[in-house]
Amino acid sequence: MHCDPRFSRVREVFERHFADGVELGAAFAVYLDGELVVDLWDGVADRRTGRPWERDTPVFAYSCTKAVTATVLLRLAERGLVDVTAPVAEVWPEFGVQGKQRVTVEHLLSHQAGLPALEEPVPVEEFEDLPAIAARLAGQRPIWRAGSMHGYHALTYGFLVGEVVRRVTGKSVGELVAAEISGPLGLDLWVGAPDDVIARAARLSAGPPPGSETGRGDGAPGAPVGAATPSGPPQYPNGGIAVAAQNPDSLMNRTLGNPSIQDLKGGANNPVILRAGWPAAGMVTTARSLAAFYRALLAGELLRPETLQDAIRPRVTGPDQVLLLDSSFGLGFMRPGMTFFLPSATAFGHTGMGGSIGLADPEHGLAAGYVMNRMADAFSGNLRAIRLMEAVYRSI
């Protein structure tokens, strides 16, 4: 492990989480002005076997994937292969039905398309057939008029954006990540993991009972149950979240639960999910590689500076129709708010179900990644990541 002496308090927080029993296995990495200053890992990768978490242990990072997928599409936009302001139907003609003729690629990237949930249950047999799932969405009518409001497209974001990528390149998001991001940068980061990576990946695990800081099922997605506050555990900002979380027919649960990962043995630990490469929630990575992805973004190695600056410009800020919280999104990137809680207004990135997070802060020259295998009780704003990032900011 490595920790620059300037960041000793970060190591103290990381170690305290294990001493207090709120971590099972985890890793945290930070780059400052391009230099790796924190690279920590500890604990158990699989509590069934006691297999230790090692330097290169990868783990499923849920929606941290979305920022990587957005980067893939924005790279295509830089080449003139897709216009983010143009209607999706220009590259995907079958999409332009049921009132979706004016839905733009920008609407997809910023959760404004009105297609947060699939109407019909997706059978397990289709979980790895991403074009088939996208075709289901192409035939749907939006819940709201695109651009009139926004709501977190937890899973459909990836099927929609991924199909645009496939239509203009003939390749999947995962293939382009491997060829243009992970390969050239030497990252342990996959959107759709190969069998050898699956074999050594950490296994997601339940924490203490729901209501504590870390409880949630064995890798299967749970409903969001609150947002973090700077001085305490996740709170309910309004009663609607609690009600929606308990209602299987709520838009929140329909959005988070279809395709139903819970239909597979082991939930997100099942090789079907790790291999499928869902572009909204299908990334397997290490903390160091997740941080290095954001380091490369800040360095202009993946996107032109002007492209990145435009991508992180908030397109929507305010009430989220799915999460029932205020959220803020650029083009595929979260901005600070109730669903992306950071002590800096200039940061951008994305959280993942259970507690993982990847981010960059151009004002402070920071890039960070946190991954773990003990699932948090909160959809976003996991206290472990918040404490670590607060320690980072105090250190600089």
Q: Which residues are catalytic?
A: 63
Torsion over CA: 251, 352, 307, 81 (sign): negative
Q: Which residues 6+ apart lie within 8 Å of 20 measured at CB? A: none
Q: Which residues 6+ apart lie within 8 Å of 239 measured at CB? A: none
CA distance 152 to 255: 8
Left, alpha or beta for 325 (phi > 0: left; psi -120 to 50: alpha)? beta
Left, alpha or beta for 34 (phi > 0: left; psi -120 to 50: alpha)? left
Contacts 24+ apart (CB under 8 A), 335-344: 338/227, 338/237, 338/380, 338/381, 339/152, 339/227, 339/379, 339/380, 339/381, 340/380, 340/381, 341/227, 341/228, 341/230, 341/380, 341/381, 341/386, 342/386, 342/389, 343/230, 343/389, 343/390, 343/393, 344/393
CA distance 137 to 133: 7
User: 389 near 41, Cβ under 8 Å?
Assistant: no
- Rg from Cα positions in the chain: 19
CA distance 81 to 261: 33
CA distance 261 to 267: 5
CA distance 352 to 136: 25
Place of tokens 């209501």: 211
User: 331 near 84, Cβ under 8 Å?
Assistant: yes
